[in-house]
């Protein structure tokens, strides 16, 4: 017989291990409807209490009068409600990872091409530190440039993966389009940040299809930082639907208004560092290739519509947490089509 132990809130940190049947029992005592005990136990064993309940319970809890009060679920909330929100978020995470992989490929390719074009393909040329700004001083006392090049010099001086090993041994030179295969997304974003303005201009022009303005340069860098944050959070299994980053997009009227977001909305946090900001970044990044945007939005729309059919009362709250208006999925595609059409016409006129 399993020994009964006191069930503590959250089941994490220094709190005791709780057998799964007692976890379910405690959830029921807090007002959660559990129609199939065995199914709930299996789900908790597959997902863990911390990831499933602690990760997705907040939307379903009654307000507390005091911080010390025990969690109580809103009347009628079921275990399936929480599981369905978890499944929706899992689909969201998968779509974000798939999209950021495409973004990484385009960014890596454009960075490698632009560095070779401006600096040359020899590593002593494109890795000449005089071509890069110092950047900010970081917590270890070194600048961004010092930290970045310490890692890069290790990669080119003593490569550990192919094809860097082959190029080192055969040519004693690792060109930029080979080096980027061993750089993390974050490292490449910093390399872009510290690069000469001429490199940045080429990178952005290759991606958005037009000569960038100063506003483009500022916005593009913030978009890439935001992508990196979302990508890393998704890769580590983080909760996505209400995720906020410490990177904030500046307000860009022609993009934010696609979601009906005004400057005032932006000041309040909508479309600044949330999932809506991530969507805005995608629209911007794929100005010259709208297919990528539409594919991603179709995936998100399918996940949202499935969630609406499964748990319609929760729909408004989920979209509110995403940072997008309730009717975004019915109007965004048409607005995006018009935006892309106008952007492409402007780019063609510029050419």
Confidence of residue 158 (pLDDT cuts 50, 70, 90): very high
Q: How far apart are CA 312 and CA 308, in angstroms?
A: 4
Percent of the chain with pLDDT over 90: 66
Residue pair 176/116 in contact (Cβ under 8 Å)? The answer is: yes
Report whether pLDDT(156) > 80: yes
**Is residue 121 located within the same domain as residue 73?**
no
Q: What is the pLDDT of residues 246-296, one digit of tens each?
A: 999 999 998 998 888 899 999 998 899 999 999 899 989 988 887 777 778
For residue 45, list its beta bridge partners: none
Is the residue at 10 inside a domain? Answer: no
**Is residue 178 located within the same domain as residue 58?**
no
| pLDDT at residue 173 in the model | 97
Q: Count how many domains the chain has.
A: 2
**Is residue 262 located within the same domain as residue 305?**
yes
Is the residue at 14 inside a domain? Answer: no
How large is the average pLDDT for residues 180-196?
Answer: 96
Confidence of residue 8 (pLDDT cuts 50, 70, 90): very low
**Is residue 140 located within the same domain as residue 71?**
no
Percent of the chain with pLDDT over 70: 85
Report whether pLDDT(7) > 70: no
CA 166 remoteness from chain centre: 33
Is the residue at 250 inside a domain? Answer: yes
The domain boundary, picked from 56, 77, 98, lies at 77
| pLDDT at residue 64 in the model | 84
- Cα torsion angle, 49, 53, 54, 56, sign: positive
| pLDDT at residue 5 in the model | 36
Is the residue at 5 inside a domain? Answer: no
Q: How far apart are CA 342 and CA 45, in angstroms?
A: 51
| pLDDT at residue 57 in the model | 93
**Is residue 101 located within the same domain as residue 73?**
no
**Is residue 116 located within the same domain as residue 147?**
yes
The domain boundary, picked from 29, 50, 77, lies at 77
Q: What is the domain range of residue 141? A: 88-350
CA 176 remoteness from chain centre: 26
Query: In the structure encoding, which two tokens stand for residue 287, read together?
Result: 């100005």
**Is residue 73 located within the same domain as residue 219?**
no
**Is residue 263 located within the same domain as residue 203?**
yes
Is the residue at 9 inside a domain? Answer: no
Is the residue at 83 inside a domain? Answer: no
| pLDDT at residue 347 in the model | 58
Report whether pLDDT(348) > 50: yes
**Is residue 54 located within the same domain as residue 147?**
no
The domain boundary, picked from 41, 57, 77, lies at 77
| pLDDT at residue 162 in the model | 94
| pLDDT at residue 330 in the model | 58
**Is residue 318 located within the same domain as residue 179?**
yes
Is the residue at 82 inside a domain? Answer: no
**Is residue 284 located within the same domain as residue 317?**
yes
**Is residue 73 located within the same domain as residue 92?**
no
Is the residue at 2 inside a domain? Answer: no
């Amino acid at each position: 017989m399993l020994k009964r132990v006191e069930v503590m809130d959250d089941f994490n940190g220094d709190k005791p291990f709780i057998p799964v049947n007692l976890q379910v029992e405690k959830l029921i005592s807090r007002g959660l409807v559990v129609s199939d005990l065995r199914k709930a136990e299996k789900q908790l064993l597959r997902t863990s209490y911390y990831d499933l309940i602690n990760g997705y319970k907040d939307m379903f809890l009654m307000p507390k009068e005091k911080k010390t009060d025990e969690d109580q679920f809103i009347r009628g909330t079921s275990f399936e409600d929480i599981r369905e929100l978890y499944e929706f978020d899992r689909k969201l995470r998968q779509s974000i990872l798939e999209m950021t992989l495409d973004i990484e490929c385009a960014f890596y390719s454009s960075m490698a091409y632009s560095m070779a074009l401006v600096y040359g393909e020899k590593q002593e040329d494109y890795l000449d530190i005089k071509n890069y700004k110092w950047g900010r001083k970081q917590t270890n006392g070194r600048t961004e440039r010092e930290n970045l090049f310490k890692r890069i010099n290790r990669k080119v001086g003593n490569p550990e993966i192919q094809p860097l090993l082959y190029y080192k041994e055969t040519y004693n030179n690792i060109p930029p389009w080979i080096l980027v295969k061993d750089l993390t997304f974050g490292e490449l974003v910093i390399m872009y940040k510290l690069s000469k303005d001429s490199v940045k201009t080429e990178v952005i022009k290759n991606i958005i299809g037009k000569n960038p303005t100063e506003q483009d340069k500022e916005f593009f860098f913030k978009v890439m930082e935001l992508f990196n944050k979302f990508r890393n959070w998704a890769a580590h299994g983080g909760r996505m639907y209400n995720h906020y980053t410490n990177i904030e997009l500046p307000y860009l009227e022609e993009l934010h208004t696609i979601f009906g977001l005004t400057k005032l909305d932006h000041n309040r946090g909508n479309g600044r560092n949330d999932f809506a900001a991530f969507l805005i970044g995608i629209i911007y990044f794929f100005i010259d290739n709208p297919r990528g945007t539409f594919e991603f939005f179709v995936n998100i729309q399918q996940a949202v519509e499935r969630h609406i059919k499964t748990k319609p009362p929760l729909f408004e709250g989920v979209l509110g947490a995403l940072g997008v208006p309730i009717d975004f999925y019915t109007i965004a595609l048409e607005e995006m089509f018009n935006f892309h059409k106008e952007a492409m016409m402007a780019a063609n006129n510029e050419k």
